[in-house]
Amino acid sequence: MNYIDWLDRKDLEYRDGNLYFANLNTLEIAKKFGTPIYVINEQKIRERYRELKDTLNLGYKRNKIYYAIKSNTNLSILKILVSEGSSLDCSSTGEIYTCLKSGVSPDRIIYTGNMFTNNDFKFAIDNNVLTNLDSYSQLIRLAKIYEKKGKDKSIISFRFNPEFGAGHHPHTITAGKEIKFGILENQMIKAYTKAKELGFKKFGIHQHIGSGIIDTKNYENPTEKFLTIIEKLSSQLGIQFEFVDFGGGLGIPYHPEQDPIDLNIYSEIVFTRFKEIVEKGEIGEPFLFIEPGRYISAESSIILTQINTIKDNGYKLFAGLDAGFNTLIRPTLYGSYHHIIVCNQRNKEKILKYDIVGPICESGDILGKERDLPELNEGDYLAILDAGAYGFTMSSSYNSRPRPAELLINDGNIFKIRNEETFDDLIRNQIVPDYLK
Ligand SMILES: Cc1ncc(COP(=O)(O)O)c(C=O)c1O
């Protein structure tokens, strides 16, 4: 993909030397609303959702997308996706709470947590949310809670760990014997047998192998293993599945030299064999679920940030920003690449190499290492791309820096969808004991 097309994919283009995002001048946005600030493009979220939905519809008609809200939990984003027909995937009771606040009905939520407490289960049961278990012992505890509450044990699902994982960083690989997630092959029969004994009547199954996968080959082995265990559960225990959830993990091209994931190949690897198995008539007529987060939300957003300091220390050139790893932790946490571009291309001819750094009191606060950029000046504005997934949700107020605001662009209009935090927010929940007053 050439660079202009790569930018265009993200609704970015230069007009007369100024960067436009979703048809709006980024300099004007930065000056009007202040920086740092997250700017989200509604149309891109809808577009990415629809791309996936079209792929699914071609691959296997009975399907549902559960947007993984951990990537971006803003209520407006949830409302946009719910209006598209999306269901929602949660990893905690706080996320379930957020989903319910967005107005979605509980039957469109799946709770794929891990290390569940009994209170987590109680919350899910009280709110009629389907839970996806990731250990045998959790099944016993969950069943007891159902019984205590006198509620019907209708549907249960387990997360399978296929031992083949993948991801953009070791910390985002979620399958393998050493990994905490899911149930290994040797305990799956035991788990479903017990679930039947305990009175669960309907069944689903789930796997999620990791996050940030751009090479579709990574889905081959885990999918094969997943389908084998599904067939085994049906043939040995007579289980008919209500749904089969293939998880999320679809990556996006963060780097201009990367191509987008090929959804047709993904569909062929994951859905074609699944369809064949369903057509044999032995595993029921399950819905096919996927749980993408990043694919839907990442490219929808940029962070606008201002350069406050240009420092040439004799060895290196630093461009110091008002955004740091408190605003976007992925580069520091995972060594992730986020492309960074100037909002104004004033000094286009002279290209220099910069380390793009934030204001956090740690030398790891680097958003971009050795980036070639047109000569920068203090006061210039930059855009950090692809910040819509795991940007705000992983942000912090470290160094007592209030989190920034979020803006939503819809059809050329700008809506503030989250206020910037204040200093008061930083200390709001603290309690000073009387003897210290
Ligand atoms: C269970 C589960 N589903 C879905 C996702 C979403 O992953 P991604 O944003 O890579 O699509 C995650 C991410 O960690 C996950 O753990």
183 and 237 in a single domain? The answer is yes
**What's the CATH number where 154 sits?**
3.20.20.10
In short, whether 173's Cβ falls inside 6 Å of ligand 1 is no
Domain boundary among 292, 308, 327: 292
Residue 92 belongs to some domain of the structure: no
197 and 117 in a single domain? The answer is yes
Domain boundary among 292, 312, 346: 292
Residue 265 belongs to some domain of the structure: yes
207 and 323 in a single domain? The answer is no
Please state, in angstroms and rounded to a whole number, the distance separating the CA atoms of residues 316 and 301: 30
284 and 305 in a single domain? The answer is no
287 and 304 in a single domain? The answer is no
Number of domains in the chain: 2
Q: Which of 49, 81, 252, 291 to mutate to test the pocket of ligand 1 (most atoms within 8 A of CB)?
A: 291
Residue 324 belongs to some domain of the structure: yes
- pTM score, two decimals? 0.97
Ligand 1 centroid from CA 247, angstroms: 7
- Whether 226 and 160 have beta carbons less than 8 Å apart is answered as yes
Residue 102 belongs to some domain of the structure: no
Residue 7 belongs to some domain of the structure: yes
Ligand 1 centroid from CA 68, angstroms: 6
In short, whether 294's Cβ falls inside 6 Å of ligand 1 is yes
Please state, in angstroms and rounded to a whole number, the distance separating the CA atoms of residues 53 and 266: 13
| Per-residue confidence (pLDDT) for residue 348, from 0 to 100 | 72
In short, whether 208's Cβ falls inside 6 Å of ligand 1 is yes
Domain of residue 384 covers 3-41+299-427
Tokens 């050329």, located at residue: 412
Q: Which secondary structure element, helix H or strand E, spans residue 155, and what is its range?
A: strand 155-159
Residue 27 belongs to some domain of the structure: yes
Q: Which of 81, 91, 394 to mutate to test the pocket of ligand 1 (most atoms within 8 A of CB)?
A: 91
266 and 150 in a single domain? The answer is yes
360 and 254 in a single domain? The answer is no
Count, residues in the chain:
437
256 and 309 in a single domain? The answer is no
In short, whether 249's Cβ falls inside 6 Å of ligand 1 is yes
Residue 58 belongs to some domain of the structure: no
163 HSE (CA, 13 A, CB side): 7
Residue 233 belongs to some domain of the structure: yes
**What's the CATH number where 382 sits?**
2.40.37.10
Ligand 1 centroid from CA 71, angstroms: 8
**How many other CB atoms are there within 10 angstroms of residue 151's CB atom?**
12
Domain boundary among 244, 265, 292: 292
283 and 353 in a single domain? The answer is no
From the centroid of its chain, how far is CA 413? 25
Ligand 1 centroid from CA 211, angstroms: 6
129 and 261 in a single domain? The answer is yes
244 and 333 in a single domain? The answer is no
3-state secondary structure of 99: helix
- Amino acid at the residue 334: Y
Supply the residues annotated as catalytic.
361
The residues with which 12 forms a beta bridge, in sequence order, are 21
3-state secondary structure of 137: helix
Could you say which residues of the chain have pLDDT below 50?
Answer: none
268 and 339 in a single domain? The answer is no
Q: What is the pLDDT of residues 12-35, one digit of tens each?
A: 999 999 999 999 999 999 999 999
